[in-house]
Structure 1
Amino acid sequence: MIADNLVVDARTGRRTTWGELVQQSGPRPSPTAHVVEHSVDALPAVAALEDGGELLVVAAGRLDEALAEELRGAGFDLVAGGDVQGATSHRAAEDGRVWLLTSGSTGRPKRVGHTLASLSTVTGELAPRTWLCPYSPGTYAWWQVITLGLGVPGQDLVLVDPADLDDWVTPALEHGVTAVSGTPTFWRRTLMRHGAELRKLPLEQVTLGGEPVDQAVLTQLGEVFPEARVSWIYASSEVGASIVVHDGRAGFPVEWLDRDVPGRPRLSVVDGELVITSPHHGVDASGAELAGAVRTGDAARIEDGRVLVTGRLDRDELNVGGSKVSAGAVRDLLQSHPDVAWASVRGRKAPLVGTMVVADVVAGQGSDVNPDDLTRWAAERLPEYAVPRRIKMLAEIPAKETLKSDV
């Protein structure tokens, strides 16, 4: 632990250090699920992991009755402020174990186990930076930023709760933020809402992850922050941070496929699916390692020497009258339109062809682009069967607490 790294709660303006946080808590003898309203509330328990204990952090908004009973049955005490609900099945804590909950996009959230070491994938020295952490407490992305502040010298944190993200630029300017990590949805909403104000931020590092990253948003961020390194990361609870790209381009070089480099993940594409064998893998709820080749469930295609990760495999491939359409490819095309801030593409049942392509679109600030304009524009660039047949214009970019929308 880097005791003098700084942590700032943007909500209250309170500034503290990890050295002070570790004095506020100690390891509990039982596995503990800390239920928190705000990111900063979890940090004393995180700091206490240096001395042992077994920890899961979950945002209060995610904890429904079924999940609470499941965790208590798995041996976790639920701690929310001063309130403790004891486990219904007791066991000793596994010192140093950190549990994450998956997003639950394919069903109920699953527990994946890590350690601070497996969550801390940064190697080498980093320039001193002040990071904005906008993520929901306990998610993999949240832990990635938190472990930077906990374990890497010179990495200070400014914590902003997801509920307060409409105005994150103000505290970022106030507290000297120089690095920001967020999903593409987070960045698109920010670009749309804050515009010129963003250029006041002296950012040195801009990071995207958690959703498919397309060229349009990378290009926009490069233009707004010309002095910053713009990077995207592919990471998940199961395989850790497995792909990191710094060249400002969507996708990763095709030369990275099927190569074996000690200490680095092995990347493959099998039947259109991204497959990863990672040294940063976690364990499942039974403690069994998630080692070996992991089928990620994410669609990947090779185009112009790059491997593009386009979205969840079960949602990406649409069958339109016997012709295959990538929903992610159509989405990326729509998002490359100069008057489009965001797009989501999916299939809808239709007579004769079985499925037709439909889209939701948010126009850029001040744009009067309409569905007919976009349909004609797409028809000039896509096969006839891939052109969206219905386009619905939305007033604003939707976002969940996870900062994701089209996942």
Structure 2
Amino acid sequence: MSAAEDRTPPRRFNAARYCLAENARLRPDKIALVMVGEGDAVTRLTYAEADRAIRAIAGGLSRLGLESGARVMIRMGNEADYVLVYFGALAAGLVALPSSSQLTPSEAAFLMEDSAASVVVVGRDTVLDRAGDRIVLEAGDIAAMKAGDPVADYADTAADDPATLVYTSGTSGSPKGVLHAHRAIWGRRPMHAHWLGLTEDDVMLHAGAMNWTYTLGVGITDPWACGATAVIYNGPRERGIWAALIAAHGATLFAAVPSVYRQILKYADLARHDLSSLRHGVTAGEALPPDLLEAWTATTKKPLYEALGMSEISTYVSSGPTIPVRAGSPGRPQPGRRIAILAVEGDPEALPQGETGLLAIHRSEPGLMLGYWNRPDEEAAVLRGEWFTGGDLASLDDDGYLWFHGRNDDLMNAMGYRVSPNEVEAVLAGHPAIADVGVTELAVRADVRVIAAFVVRQPGVEPDAGALIAWCAERLAAYKCPREIRFLDALPRTANGKVQRKRLAETQS
């Protein structure tokens, strides 16, 4: 089979069947999922059990009379049912909408309305307001579905049929939906060998929350696609917990953002934990600082492989077992990926090596999104001829390694999530004591950047920084909230009156 043929998914393709059906047949008693809770609470599901539960949930959803492609919003914490409902929706030919339990009720309501979700599945400790006439399924409803009759087979979907709707920050300020097809899971295949080094013998421990595409993808989907075991943690986030979990569950692979690796080095007593099972770590979501890479490899003697990706395509540039690490670079394009560096303006022609421009990936990539949900203007803005451009500025060196040079827009990276400054500014602008506000990222250490708000007070008032942060916490998910508030007499603006966000960090507090 040629590389080109291997990159093309089958015409009829269901992502849930791809991850479950063959595993349930070939390795029914193998542990597919381990959910680790507080204390001794551990839930284990074999592939046979996961397959049956997912087909049973698919049956329960199908009996609700939903149209093919109807959106099922998942509003749950890190729990096993999150995974089962997600794949159950795909198995039924519906569109899964994973969402964060950190979202405020108003943020969740926006997703429900914007997506026109037909069903909302809520977790045990989740607050849901303004469900309207939508079907709301709670823990008892999902338990009843799992106990019911499973569908005989997974839905006969096409590779291009919609499967997942993920919301991410848009330049307009409100979150935008990224719609993926079933083929997106097929498009992940280059990661398995060239970034993760993943095989059926592996145990993958992921440090992220279930709603994040990094966790659902690398933590669950990729192990299941390869017949491996996935381990997710849902207990107290003690800073030294990850080394203990690696040792306790014999994790061969560990996935996290860079800051988690730094926490392990700083807070975990590594001498007390046997990390011999760990083959290597992988990291994405934020740039990996060279000093952290050096400290991790020197201390643990384990490789650490970085990847660059986004919600619209997941990871497509990486280091890994087949791509040697080069400190400061996320790596090279994974084999089979077609990428280019395009001029920021003008025709979409590829620039020579060494020149900085817009990082682009070819639209033939099977892992690329179908498009933005009901956002044709934003979709048109990222498509240039045969290329998709996500707004990253980068260059390629003579060896094909990619070097990141920031963003061509104002989107921020907060804990691995893209956040629009417009969204945070709109919340702060509603505070009665604020006359003007600008939001941007602020470097507080060499490898740590936080969201900061630069505020101009209304005359005669003295708002407290803590009160403004609390105001945001009531209206925004925790990862979107500013960590610092700085007060200014005026914001730097262009001649046309636009806030110069890139200059905000240069101002004095």
Which whole-Å deviations, capped at 9, do the CAs of 1:239-286 have from their partners, x for residues lacking one? 3221021222235599x68x9x7x413131645444221412112113
CA pair 39-274 structure 1, distance change in 2 beyond 3 A = farther
CA pair 265-5 structure 1, distance change in 2 beyond 3 A = farther
1:220 to 277, 292, 295: 295
Q: Which residue does 1:294 correspond to in 2?
A: 388
Q: Is the 8 A contact 2:204 2:231 kept in 1?
A: yes
Q: Cα offset for 1:232?
A: 0.8
Kindly indicate whether residue 316 of structure 2 is the aligned counterpart of residue 275 of structure 1: no
Q: Cα offset for 1:221?
A: 2.1
Which whole-Å deviations, capped at 9, do the CAs of 1:15-61 have from their partners, x for residues lacking one? 11243134334232342101112242311113322342211111221
TM-score, reference length from structure 1: 0.67
SS class of match (1:56) = strand
Kindly indicate whether residue 62 of structure 2 is the aligned counterpart of residue 20 of structure 1: no
Distance, in Å, in 1 between the alignment partners of 2:206 and 2:97 is 18
1:9 to 35, 38, 44: 35
The aligned amino acid for 2:75 is: V
* Deviates most, 195-204 or 42-51: 195-204
Distance, in Å, in 2 between the alignment partners of 1:347 and 1:36 is 29
Q: Is the 8 A contact 2:342 2:359 kept in 1?
A: yes
| 1:4-403 correspondence to structure 2 within 5 Å | 4-11=30-37, 12-24=41-53, 25-27=56-58, 28=61, 29=66, 30-48=70-88, 49-76=90-117, 77-81=119-123, 85=131, 97-102=163-168, 107-120=173-186, 121-123=188-190, 126=199, 128-144=201-217, 145-153=219-227, 155-161=228-234, 164=237, 166=239, 167-194=241-268, 196-197=270-271, 200-202=274-276, 203-226=278-301, 228-246=302-320, 247-252=324-329, 263-268=336-341, 270=343, 272-278=356-362, 279=365, 280-283=367-370, 284-286=372-374, 292-300=386-394, 306-314=401-409, 335=446, 342-344=447-449
The aligned amino acid for 2:388 is: V
TM-score, reference length from structure 2: 0.55
The aligned amino acid for 1:52 is: G
Question: What residue ranges of structure 2 are gaps of 5+ in the alignment?
Answer: 1-19, 25-29, 136-156, 345-355, 412-439, 455-477, 485-509
Q: Cα offset for 1:182?
A: 1.0
The aligned amino acid for 1:122 is: R
Question: What residue ranges of structure 1 are gaps of 5+ in the alignment?
Answer: 317-326, 336-341, 350-399
Q: Cα offset for 1:64?
A: 3.3
Q: Cα offset for 1:303?
A: 7.3
SS class of match (1:60) = coil
Q: Cα offset for 1:65?
A: 1.4
The aligned amino acid for 1:8 is: V
Percent identity reads 17
- Higher RCO structure (Cα 8 Å, ≥6 apart): 2
Distance, in Å, in 2 between the alignment partners of 1:33 and 1:346 is 28
Distance, in Å, in 2 between the alignment partners of 1:253 and 1:80 is 37
Q: Cα offset for 1:186?
A: 1.7
Q: Cα offset for 1:302?
A: 6.3
SS class of match (1:300) = strand
Distance, in Å, in 1 between the alignment partners of 2:243 and 2:104 is 29
Q: Which residue does 1:391 correspond to in 2?
A: none
Q: Which residue does 1:354 correspond to in 2?
A: none
CA RMSD of aligned residues (A): 4.2
Distance, in Å, in 1 between the alignment partners of 2:80 and 2:164 is 17
How many residues align? The count is 328
Q: Is the 8 A contact 1:102 1:110 kept in 2?
A: yes
CA pair 53-103 structure 1, distance change in 2 beyond 3 A = same
Which whole-Å deviations, capped at 9, do the CAs of 1:126-178 have from their partners, x for residues lacking one? 2621111221222220122211132212x211102486252232233211111
